[in-house]
Amino acid sequence: MSLEMLQNIWIGLIAVLWIGYFVLEGFDFGVGVLLPVVAKNEAERRTVLTTLGPVWDGNEVWLLVAGGATFAAFPEWYATLFSGFYLALLLILVALIVRGVAFEFRSKRGDVGWRRRWDIAITVASFVPALLWGVAFANIVRGVPLQLDANNNSQFVGNFFDLLNPYALIGGLTTLALFVTHGAVFLALKTEGDIRVRANKVAGQTGLVAAVLAVVFGLWTQLAYSNNPISWLPLALAVVAWVATLGMNRLGREGWAFVTSAVTMGMVVLFLFTCLYPNVMPSTLDPAATLTIHNASSTEYTLRLMTWVAVVFTPIVLVYQAWTYWVFRKRLSPSQIPNPHEGALDLPHEVHV
């Protein structure tokens, strides 16, 4: 395999990791944002959160691996992107930290105020990254102010507020609306009773908002920033899959609605990557400072080595993660939550194994 081929494989693999992340943590974010909307009492709130319980942490690892893979395969991209988007990433980090502990700590105590505070934390900390990932990706596709420094490295010379341009904000609202709908579709599939009914209804409403935003954002991206006409294809597929999602949701075919919704998330990522290719971070100031899969990559040795690692481990990971979803495939209902108002740490008797 030549270096160029390996670079192509790795941009493909990184796209796959982001697809995994958007598909999986996308619904986690949506569920978090919708918590106050779809759950009206304590047992319902706990039911909603328990749908994420066994999987949210594994879902988040897709982000960690995407970050690690970018570091390993395209270190220049990793360095420029992460240092350039410092404050945006800090906000995302704070949100992910708060959200993770909120899931784990919330039900440990029965105190109403305690739970109320963690509920707010979950909603806000799901909202923020759902919005900011869209803002970040939109900025990458649009291009950011990069300049070559004395050592010939591309450096971000803008600031945090440069990232908050109208185009990127529409990108952020698009991912937010898509994730919220994806989360609602997931909840409709995974719950019974009132939550299921509400989630179905919410998905129909936010799904339309997402459709409008996605069409505006998609066309704007395609017409203004795409490097490749082929990116029309994932865009079209995303639209078709989304229409199918809305239709299936309306028909109450929750399994199919989730599948098509997941396809949409995947196609959105693929669309963004095909718009960029072969760039990974274009410069708005100096074409020489634009990072591409060629000038940002690792050496042939590292890429080849990492290819083998990915070939061996990725299928294994996919198998056991899929198995987890199979194990926890059943719908949940609020009646299954024992003593919903009691703190988990305050129960002296464990019931059943």
Partner 1 sequence: MNALDLARWQFGITTVYHFLFVPLTIGTSFLVAIMQTAWFRTGDERWLRATKFFGKLLLINFAMGVVTGIVQEFQFGMAWSDYSRFVGDIFGAPLAVEGLASFFLESTFLGLWIFGWDRLSRGLHLTTIWLASIGTMLSAYFILAANSFMQHPVGYAYNPVTGRAELQDFGRVLFQNTTVTTFFHTITSCFLVSGTMVLGVSLWLMMRGKSVDVMRKTLSVGIISVLIAGIGVVFTGDAQAKIMVQQQPMKMAAAEGLFNTSAPAPFSLFKLGSIDGSAEYFSIDIPGLLSFMATGDWNGEVKGINDLQAEYTAKFGPGNYAPYVPLVFWAFRAMIGLGLIAVLFALFVWWRTRKGKVPSNKWLGWAAVTCVLFPLGGISAGWIFTEMGRQPWIVFGLMKTADGVSPTLSTGTALISLVTLTVLYGVLAIIEIGLLVRAVKIGPPETVELLPVDDDADNGRTLTFSY
Segment 42 to 101, residues that bind partner 1, using CB under 8 A: 46-47, 49-50, 52-58, 60-61, 63-65, 67-73, 75-76, 78-84, 86-87, 89-90, 93-94, 96-98, 100-101
- For partner 1 (CB under 8 A), the number of binding residues is 92
Distance, in Å, from the CA atom of 245 to the CA atom of 181, rounded to the nearest integer, reads 10
Distance, in Å, from the CA atom of 289 to the CA atom of 146, rounded to the nearest integer, reads 6
Residues recorded for the chain:
353
Residue 194 in the binding site for partner 1 (CB under 8 A): no
Residue 346 in the binding site for partner 1 (CB under 8 A): yes
Q: Is the dihedral of CA 273, 276, 277, 282 positive or negative?
A: negative
Residue 108 in the binding site for partner 1 (CB under 8 A): yes
Residue (of 119, 144, 91) closest to 290 by Cα position: 144
Return the residue matching tokens 């994420």: 52
Q: Which stretch binds partner 1 (CB under 8 A): 223-231, 235-243, 280-288, 318-326?
A: 318-326
Rounded to an integer, what is the distance from CA 110 to the centroid of its chain?
31
How does 237-276 read in b/e, with b if 16+ C-beta sit within 10 Å? Answer: bbbebbebbbebbeeeebebbbbbbbbbbbbbbbbbbbbb
**Which residues in 154-173 contact partner 1 (CB under 8 A)?**
155-157
Return the residue matching tokens 């982001």: 18
Residue 349 in the binding site for partner 1 (CB under 8 A): yes
Residue 307 in the binding site for partner 1 (CB under 8 A): no
In the structure encoding, which two tokens stand for residue 317, read together? 């990971």
CA atoms within 13 A on the CB side of 115: 19
341 and 46 Cβ atoms separated by less than 8 Å: no
Residue 145 in the binding site for partner 1 (CB under 8 A): no
User: Cα torsion for 292, 235, 205, 28, to the nearest 10°?
Assistant: -40
Put residue 252 in one of left, alpha, beta given phi > 0 → left and psi -120 to 50 → alpha.
left
User: Out of 8, 165, 307, 314, which residue is the one contacting partner 1 (CB under 8 A)?
Assistant: 314
Q: Which stretch binds partner 1 (CB under 8 A): 205-213, 218-226, 261-269, 326-334?
A: 326-334
Residue 270 in the binding site for partner 1 (CB under 8 A): no
Smallest gap from residue 248 Cβ to partner 1 (A): 22
Q: Which is nearer to partner 1, 40 or 250 (CB)?
A: 40
178 and 137 Cβ atoms separated by less than 8 Å: no
Q: Which is nearer to partner 1, 229 or 348 (CB)?
A: 348
Q: Which is nearer to partner 1, 156 or 271 (CB)?
A: 156
Smallest gap from residue 241 Cβ to partner 1 (A): 26
Distance, in Å, from the CA atom of 252 to the CA atom of 342, rounded to the nearest integer, reads 34
Q: What does each C-alpha distance from 168 to 180, 208, 236 come to in angstroms?
A: 18, 20, 21
Q: Which is nearer to partner 1, 223 or 351 (CB)?
A: 351
Smallest gap from residue 184 Cβ to partner 1 (A): 18
Q: Which stretch binds partner 1 (CB under 8 A): 180-188, 205-213, 265-273, 314-322?
A: 314-322
Q: Which is nearer to partner 1, 81 or 265 (CB)?
A: 81
DSSP sequence for 288-321: GG-EETTTS---HHHHHHHHHHHHHHHHHHHHHH
331 and 190 Cβ atoms separated by less than 8 Å: yes
Smallest gap from residue 57 Cβ to partner 1 (A): 4
Smallest gap from residue 347 Cβ to partner 1 (A): 8
Smallest gap from residue 221 Cβ to partner 1 (A): 25
Residue 331 in the binding site for partner 1 (CB under 8 A): yes
Q: Which is nearer to partner 1, 227 or 284 (CB)?
A: 284
Residue 37 in the binding site for partner 1 (CB under 8 A): no
Smallest gap from residue 118 Cβ to partner 1 (A): 10
Q: Which stretch binds partner 1 (CB under 8 A): 1-9, 223-231, 280-288, 332-340?
A: 332-340
